[in-house]
Structure 1
Amino acid sequence: MKNWLISTFLTLTLLGVSAIANGQNQSIQEDVQRLTIEVENFLKEQSQGLKDPYVIEVKPIDPRLKLTPCSDLKSFLPAGAKVWGKVTVGLRCSAPKGWVIYVAAQVRVYAEYFVSKNPLNAGQTLSEEDLLKIRGEISNQPMGTITDKQQAIGKTMLATHPAGVTLRHDLFKSVPVILQGQSIKVISQGPGFRVSNDAIAIQQAIEGQLIRAKTLSGQFVSGIARSGGFIEVQ
């Protein structure tokens, strides 16, 4: 009888420990899921200005992470990070205990862009016959990829360019309308609203080129460069 009681006690104890462990693991897993959702929502907010379809993939977060539950969680992009393609998103907890982690993700954007239909020569002025329209993932293309044929027609090539290769704004002889470090306006507009914010250009751009800027609040935005020192976010 005594042995049976001891055996029963040990069994119940082990079951209790197992239940606690499973509960802890479930709690950790729920935290990881919450962090994943936070990153995905943040990237959706950053992609609001896109008119083209996009897909967000957040890389799995190590479920073994034992992070203090956070009541003040904020997402951010590291300095110089991009919003499209392979990206890294930071998660910063301020309370009750501070910690920071970085999560890998990928934002695939699908749109139309242009490549050279024929080999191009330095000094050649482009016509519509020199362009070939492609529809595919534009987020893995170089910055400044041509997305409107009017951005290339009539432009002069700076150097030779092979056939079938993406056309970019920096391949042409052009005068930038926005310079790197310049104070600019970010115009966000949509049905029934138009908002203007001050920002600093991260790069130089010509008319119609996609450009990134940093607002005074520290947020990174992408938009189309326009003459007059502003970028347009649809």
Structure 2
Amino acid sequence: MTPRPLLRRLLPATLGLLATVLGTGAACAAEPLPGPAMAAIERLIERQTAGLPGKATVTAALPGTAELPACDAFDAFLPTGAAARGRLSIGLRCRTGAAWTRFVPAYVKVEGTYYVATRTIEPGDAIGLADLTAQTGDLAALPRSVVTNGSELAGARATGRIAAGAPLRKELLRAPTVIQQGQSVQVVAQGAGFTVSTEARALTQAAAGGVARAKTLDGRMVTGVADEDGQIVLSQ
């Protein structure tokens, strides 16, 4: 028998064996967590992402054929400095029964709205509604500074070139100037049940949300935050 016919006879069996091995490996790639452990992880992520601009979901599984030791109740926690987004390890600690701690690979997806440029925006260009569009996607897969609040774009100008289709990032935007140095401004102080305002002269230029300094008519120096109406709001 020549080698070529023999190869033709062995090839189907070899491919079948390879498919079986690969299928078994894929099935063993991850093991689901026990229900109480997964519930502890979901509670943790719900707390950690409560203020994020989007809906967070978490997936987690043990690698390979690993198993968690027996446990009656679980606590989940994040390693020091870890943020609840994207790929990370989540700690599981046995709260009752045997004392042990394990770290589980996980992915936290944050589904939310962000804004992308509809045209190429050059440095210094003002940004209007026609220059952007809202999209929905996984914020965890995007830069942390991506713009998710359309009100942040009102009157903004680009500080760098933004390609068409690129997400808008806060470091590439400059808020509009609402206070010019030397102009007359209102300084506002607010407290529980009262609001007091006085006239002052701006000592610095400021964008909305930026720090502004002014000198009141009686000579006092004040520092506060410029609001969108061009007032200086004093910190409490």
TM-score, reference length from structure 2: 0.52
- Report the alpha carbon displacement of residue 141 of structure 1 after superposing the two structures with TM: 1.6
Does residue 37 in structure 1 map to residue 39 in structure 2?
yes
- 2:143 counterpart residue number: 142
1:44 alignment partner AA = E
Structure 2, unaligned stretches of length 5 or more? 1-30, 177-207, 210-232
- Report the alpha carbon displacement of residue 114 of structure 1 after superposing the two structures with TM: 0.5
* Separation in 1, partners of 2:93, 2:38: 13
C-alpha RMSD of the superposition: 3.4
- 1:64 counterpart residue number: 66
* Separation in 2, partners of 1:146, 1:134: 11
Preserved CA contact (<8 Å) 2:113 2:148: yes
- Report the alpha carbon displacement of residue 147 of structure 1 after superposing the two structures with TM: 1.7
Aligned length: 152
Point out 4+ residue stretches in structure 1 off by more than 6 angstroms. none
Preserved CA contact (<8 Å) 1:91 1:101: yes
Secondary structure at 2:110's aligned position in 1?
strand
Q: String of CA shifts for 1:41-86, please: whole Å, max 9, x gaps.
A: 322333344564443222345553363x446742211122121222
Secondary structure at 1:113's aligned position in 2?
strand
* Separation in 2, partners of 1:104, 1:30: 11
Secondary structure at 1:44's aligned position in 2?
helix
* Separation in 2, partners of 1:30, 1:125: 50
- 1:100 counterpart residue number: 101
* Separation in 2, partners of 1:156, 1:92: 48
- Report the alpha carbon displacement of residue 97 of structure 1 after superposing the two structures with TM: 4.9
Preserved CA contact (<8 Å) 1:32 1:63: no
> Would you tell me which structure has more strand in proportion to its own residues?
2
TM-score, reference length from structure 1: 0.53
Q: String of CA shifts for 1:113-170, please: whole Å, max 9, x gaps.
A: 1001111112222222211111222232211211222212322222111110000111
- 1:172 counterpart residue number: 173
- 2:87 counterpart residue number: 86
Larger Rg: 2
1:1-234 maps to which residues of 2 (within 5 A)? 32-50=34-52, 52-60=54-62, 63-65=65-67, 67=69, 69-70=70-71, 73-93=74-94, 97-173=98-174
Preserved CA contact (<8 Å) 2:33 2:60: no
Q: Which stretch of the first structure deviates more once superposed, 70-79 or 91-100?
A: 91-100
Secondary structure at 1:139's aligned position in 2?
helix
* Separation in 2, partners of 1:156, 1:30: 48
